[in-house]
Amino acid sequence: MKLLITAGPTREHLDPVRFLSNRSSGKMGFAVAQAAVERGHTVTLVAGPVTLPTPEQVFRVDVVSALDMLAAVRRLLPYQHALVMCAAVADWRPKSQSDTKLKKTEVPIEVALEPNPDILKTMLPLKEDRIFVGFAAETGDPLAEAQRKLTSKGLDLIVANDVTRPDAGFEVDTNLVTFLTPSEPPRALPLQSKLDIGRAIVDWLEQRERAAPNIT
Ligand code: CTP
């Protein structure tokens, strides 16, 4: 299969040295990419600013902001069988961005923000028979929130995790996730490495592709 995977945070710059971002390390998305090439799939990885090495045989496209990531996904999606959105896309960006470093006297005490587009929702009209997978990193009720996002974003699979646990979520090498799909009961996976979770996601994609092959 040809897989488009996004990973890492996005950065929303206020000026060349200051930005809004989040704690995503990119490890989960890079692990899915690694697992997919291990199984012979063709992987394009759209990565926000992270410090991880590119897995061998992965074609990597680096981006900074949510708008950059959207542009890359829009450009690359037509050639893919599936989109796996692991990236922690920043939901807002500063309304204005300065090309030069703002002096401290110029930085507003209140920074005006505007919403970023939702990449999955923006791509939904181009989905056709492609498989869309999302992630839901939650601090509240992971399953309820993931269920809501599964439906509202038109996903085939959402991978839910509770990021308040020390052994799951941001920065660490392990994760504890539940798979939710529109048609099956939720499937909780045991605590395991992000690479093994990546392999489970690739298993799921392969089974899904066998059940309903697409021709992209
Ligand atoms: N996502 C996206 N575009 C955005 C924000 C999120 O495509 N602008 C994707 C993420 O990559 C992930 C899924 O949507 O696969 C869920 O992301 P999440 O941050 O959990 O949800 P939000 O849509 O941001 O909703 P909320 O802020 O209410 O949790």
Cβ count near 144 (within 10 Å): 12
User: Which whole number is the average pLDDT over 11-39?
Assistant: 96
84 pLDDT band, cuts 50/70/90, is: very high
Look over the chain and give the mean of its residue pLDDT values, rounded to a whole number. 94
User: Which residue has a Cα nearest atom 17 of ligand 1?
Assistant: 136
173 pLDDT band, cuts 50/70/90, is: confident
**Any ligand 1 atom below 6 A from CB of 85:** yes
pLDDT value, residue 188: 95
User: Which residue has a Cα nearest atom 21 of ligand 1?
Assistant: 136
User: Which whole number is the average pLDDT over 195-200?
Assistant: 98
Catalytic machinery residues: 22
Cβ count near 55 (within 10 Å): 18
C-alpha 28/C-alpha 13 separation (Å) is 24
C-alpha 105/C-alpha 87 separation (Å) is 34
The DSSP call for residue 47 is E
What is the amino acid identity at position 79? Y
Atom number in ligand 1 closest to CA 121: 7
Higher pLDDT, 105 or 202: 202
pLDDT at 171 over 80: no
Task: Read off φ and ψ for residue 59, nearest 5 degrees.
Answer: -90, 115
pLDDT at 212 over 80: no
Helix (H, G, I), strand (E, B), or coil: what is residue 15?
Answer: strand
User: Which whole number is the average pLDDT over 64-87?
Assistant: 98
User: How would you classify the pairing of strands 157-162 and 131-138?
Assistant: parallel
Domains (range + CATH), the chain: 2-211 (3.40.50.10300)
End-to-end CA, the chain? 9
**C-alpha distance from residue 157 to each of 6, 93, 201 (Å):** 15, 28, 9
216 pLDDT band, cuts 50/70/90, is: low
C-alpha 209/C-alpha 203 separation (Å) is 10
Helix (H, G, I), strand (E, B), or coil: what is residue 200?
Answer: helix
Q: Quote the ligand 1 centre to 104 CA distance (angstroms).
A: 32
pLDDT in tens, 134-169: 999 888 888 999 999 999 999 999 999 887 877 776
User: Which residue has a Cα nearest atom 18 of ligand 1?
Assistant: 136
pLDDT at 214 over 90: no
Q: Cβ neighbours of residue 53 under 8 Å, at least 6 residues apart?
A: none
Cβ count near 110 (within 10 Å): 5
C-alpha 200/C-alpha 117 separation (Å) is 29
What pTM does this model have? 0.95
